[in-house]
Structure 1
Amino acid sequence: MSKLSKKFSGEEKTVAKNYGALVVLQGLNYLLPFLTIPFLERTLGLEKFGLIMFAQALMIFCLVATDFGFNYTATREVADLRVQKKDFSDLYFRVFWAKMILTIITFLILLLLVFSVDRFKEDWEVYILSFGVVIGQSFFPLWFFQGIEKMKLVTITNVIAKSIFVLLIFLFIRSPDDFLKVPIFNSVGFIIAGVISLILSLKYVSWKKPTFSSGRDFYKQSFQAFIANGATTLYTSANVFILGVFGGDILVGVFVSYEKIILACKNVFTPIYQALLPYLSRLKPEKRDFIIKNLIFIVAGIGLMITISLNVFGDQILGFLYNDPLIIEYSYLFKLMSWVALFSGLGMLYMVLYAPVLKKFKTIMKVTIIVGFISLLSCLYFIPDYKINASAIIMFSTELLLCIIAVFLLFRTLTKTKTKENES
């Protein structure tokens, strides 16, 4: 990466370096499951493995609640302050203390859910221990390091912490009876990464008493992003959650075995979008739109290659990674779900990169609410009867719908921008 960055200069070099760091960070997030997920499926068995994955799906809702959209809004605000060479401290502590308060509230809601619903009460330890992931992510100021475009230290921290988690998994998970150790080790890894990253971030700020009232517009935008993230979670995690309620832990295990591979593939694009977000926020419209137009073809090409590869080699991939005949039996669903890599890559180009750059948080919110609501209703209507088949078809259909809407909005916005340029 250092040799590659020499070909660039100035801001482009910064983007290249941060992209490299984000590739490592996201690669770690989605490569490690390729090591741990097959091992856990083989060691714990599909039922206990499915229970762990069901708990993780519940934690995603908790993560959305504690993030409150700050990964979009705060990242952009920090990038703006950096350009203006202003102090980050007020914004930093405004976000930090808001996340701490939200974490406490979310944990109390989780306790209420776990101890009042029989489906959760039976395995309450799994859900409580899994919440350590939420605590770790609340400490982890990824939004801040993205905004100041210094991802190298964060990446190193994550590599160390998550490598410890993988090592603990392989050393101490030996049978289905060890299933409670998985959320413990996972939580420990996230908390270590969060605390270290938090300490590293404090050198860029000085203590300030948070003034929540002065940031009303910021919180309003964050709330819009939060609603959008919540709606996104409805069509990404509610699927697994509802399947677990009506289909049981075994079918969750099968579905998540496919989903983890698909998520790893579709998030190939995430480092690109995360690295470009603060950079594009500073560019003039004509240069910004030029980059976006070129990304359309790049993302479509990569997404199509991934999808074709998963369809052609799907059976071999599943046979290599997993050791359960039920997973192989449903491989046709895996091939259907593989199209998500293409749909999601194109959809995220607008929803995760272009729209946030333009501060179109209300548009993001509206789109994701509509798509999320349709997905949720579909899950509630079809999954009780059709179980895992419905889950896979709904995942495919939802991502396709979101892609169509996002691509339409992307081209409409680009056309409007070009028209304004010609008129001026």
Structure 2
Amino acid sequence: MKLKLFDIFQQYKKHKILASNFVYLSVLQGLNLILPLITLPYLIRVLGVEYFGLLSFSFAFITYFQIITDYGFNATGTRDVSMVIDNVQKQNEIFNQIMSAKLLLVVLSFILMTGIVFAFEIFRTYWMVYLFSFGSILGQAIFPVWYFQGIQKMKYITYLNLVTKIIFTIALFIFIKQKSDYYLVPVFNALGFISAGIFSLFYLRKDFNIRFQVQSFKKIKEQLNKGKYVFLSELKISLFTNTNTLILGIIAGNHAVGFFSAAEKLARAIGNLQTPISNTLFPYLSKEMSLDKYSTIQKIKKITMYGAFIFSVIIVICFCFAEQIIKIIYGAEMVSAVILFKILILIPLLSFLDSMYGKQILLNLGKDNLYFRVILYATILNLGINLLLTYYYKELGTAITLIITQVLIALGMWYFAKREIDMIAQKGGKNEFN
């Protein structure tokens, strides 16, 4: 009887933590959805499509260095910490190794970025924008989101992001009044990320007794080797998301980038509704998968079915009212983005399926190499299609290319996930699967 009551208590405690984390991340994602809907229309109206396109172009460029400094640690770090959630000493080791690796990557990335910016005229003309934008890379590098996700303490992520994002969003409205103020956008973004990062390190030291110490190159190398497949996969994803924008900017200019980015950012904002689900489930399912693969996969399949239905309904609604949505949010002058939005609105569903089959199943099964293979093949195909379609159809071609690639990735993740699930089912589905 006592044992049964203990099991019930443990189940209650586990699901309470999961629900709490979901609520916190939902609040954060709601903020990430609402703030762009407030700031993007304002920036487009004040700065114009041309400067908005410039900022989007610079963001696409700088994102490469964010991928380098993240190095897939948001997945591998979360997974590793969640496996030693009751061992503070092990957590300290993982934290120090990953943070040391990230800081090394920040330094190397800054050197590389500076060299590229001053070597090519397309970047050199607005060099300040790129240098200011790099501040956000530093801020994100020192903010250990992966650690908080691993220990399932999402409230810290939410509180820090909530305060800093609101403050610096208000600053955008106060200080950006004319087109010449465009450079202030990356300045405020950088200040927001750096502030959140500094405060997060303070909380880690105060509440969790996590203290940073620079690690040896040998330890750093071990972490880099461990995360290489996820990093390369993330880099390949960046190649078809951000390279598409860069190619469009080079071929068609900032004006075309402005229309494309307005539609894409709106579609991705809607797609990011699944992020709280994904980020909350990942550490939880990682631990559950190590205990019972079969039952964990059954849970994932149910979540996938319900999520796919919800996103399908959202897509139909957004497609039918695309023109009204664009005009209300961006204004009548952005009507050229309507057709792009109708195409790109498929992103939420495809991203959700990609996350469930790829991140939640393949990565939690330790099949990082399969995850990488899907992204690699899709990226190679994307680059070829993108150059052709963007050259002839400008931003419309870029939008079509992006959706084709997302479809291929979702199908690839589904294929390999299904193969792994079938293998698990054949073996019996319990703890014997290693």
TM over 0.5: yes
Alignment of 1:39-50 (within 5 A): 39-50=42-53
CA-CA distance at 1:14 after TM superposition? 0.9
**Distance of 2:256 and 2:330 partners within structure 1:** 14
Match of 2:397 among 390, 406, 415: 390
Deviations 1:354-404 (A, max 9, x none): 212111111111111111121122222331332101111001111111111
Q: Kindly indicate whether the alpha-carbon contact (under 8 Å) linking 1:339 and 1:396 is maintained by their aligned counterparts in 2.
A: yes
Q: CA deviation at 1:86?
A: 4.8
8 Å CA contact 2:326, 2:337 repeated in 1: no
Q: What SS does the aligned partner of 1:149 have?
A: coil
Aligned to 1:254: 259
Quote the offset at 1:413 in angstroms.
Answer: 2.0
Kept in 2, the 8 Å contact 1:94–1:212? The answer is no
1:368-407 matched pairs, under 5 angstroms: 368-407=375-414
Are residue 9 (structure 1) and residue 12 (structure 2) matched?
yes
Give the percent of matched residue pairs that are identical in Structure 1 and Structure 2. Answer: 32
CA distance, structure 2, for counterparts of residue 136 and residue 422 of structure 1? 42
CA distance in 1, matches of 2:155, 2:161: 10
Match of 2:356 in 1: 349
Match of 1:266 in 2: 271
What SS does the corresponding residue of 1:269 show, helix, strand or coil? helix
Q: Distance in 2 between matches of 1:211 and 1:275?
A: 32
Q: Distance in 2 between matches of 1:34 and 1:14?
A: 30
| Distance in 2 (alpha carbons) for counterparts of 1:186 and 1:26 | 17
SS class of match (1:267): helix
Say yes or no: does 1:140 pair with 2:143: yes
Matched to 1:299, the amino acid is G
Q: Distance in 2 between matches of 1:218 and 1:128?
A: 28
Q: Residue 131 of structure 1: SS of its match in structure 2?
A: helix
In the alignment, structure 1 residue 190 sits paired with structure 2 residue 193: yes
The one-letter amino acid of 1:222's match is: G
Q: Pick from 323, 331, 345 the counterpart of residue 323 of structure 1.
A: 331
Counterpart contact for 1:221–1:361, Cα < 8 Å: no
Residue deviations 1:290-348 (CA, integer Å, cap 9, x gap): 211101211211120111011011110001011253x3134122111111221221111
Q: Secondary structure at the match of 1:210?
A: coil
- Does the 8 Å contact 1:139/1:198 carry over to 2? yes
Tell me the matched-pair count.
418
Matched, 1:308 2:316: yes
Contact 1:280 1:357 in 2 (8 A): yes
Instruction: Write the mapping of 1:9-408 to structure 2, written as runs, cut at 5 A.
Output: 9-83=12-86, 86-203=89-206, 204=208, 205-214=210-219, 218-283=223-288, 284-325=292-333, 327-408=334-415
Unaligned runs of 5+ in 1: 1-5
Letter in structure 2 aligned against 1:353: Q
Contact map agreement 2:204 2:211 (CA 8 A) in 1: no
Provide, for residues 179-220 of structure 1, a one-character-per-residue CA deviation record: whole Å limited to 9, x for no partner.
111111111111111111122123422454514425655432
User: Residue 119 of structure 2 aligns to a residue in which SS?
Assistant: coil
Contact 2:100 2:214 in 1 (8 A): no
Q: Distance in 1 between matches of 2:303 and 2:415?
A: 15
SS in structure 1 opposite 2:237? helix
The one-letter code of the counterpart of 2:258 is: G
Q: Which moved more, 1:386-395 or 1:85-94?
A: 85-94
Aligned position for 1:3: none
C-alpha distance in 1 between matches for 2:120 and 2:351:
34
Work out whether residues 141 and 201 of structure 1, in 8 Å CA contact, stay in contact via their aligned partners in 2.
no
Change (3 A) 1:207 1:165: closer
Q: Aligned with 1:88: secondary structure? A: helix
Tell me how far apart the structure 1 counterparts of residues 232 and 332 of structure 2 sit (CA, whole Å): 38
Question: In 1, distance between residues paired with 2:215 and 2:222?
Answer: 15
Kept in 2, the 8 Å contact 1:73–1:218? The answer is no
Quickly say closer, same or farther: Cα 1:216–1:123, change in 2 above 3 A.
closer
Q: CA 1:280–1:383 in structure 2 vs 1: closer, same or farther (change >3 Å)?
A: same
Contact 2:69 2:102 survives alignment (8 Å): yes
Give the C-alpha shift of residue 27 in structure 1. 2.4
**Cα distance in 2 for residues equivalent to 1:86 and 1:414:** 35
Q: d(CA) in 2 for partners of 1:64 and 1:329? A: 31
SS across alignment from 1:9 = helix
Compute the TM-score of the two structures, normalised by the length of structure 2: 0.92
CA RMSD of aligned residues (A): 1.9
* Structure 2: unaligned runs, 5 residues or longer: 1-8
Whether 2:412 is the aligned partner of 1:409: answer no
| CA gap 1:247/1:206 in 2 versus in 1, 3 angstroms | same
Q: Which amino acid is the alignment partner of residue 173 of structure 1? A: I
Q: Could you say if the C-alpha distance between residues 394 and 169 of structure 1 is closer, same or farther in structure 2, counting changes exceeding 3 Å?
A: same
Query: Aligned partners of 2:236 and 2:205: how far apart in 1?
Result: 32
Residue 346 of structure 1 aligns to which amino acid in structure 2?
L
Contact 2:148 2:156 in 1 (8 A): no
CA distance in 1, matches of 2:238, 2:383: 10
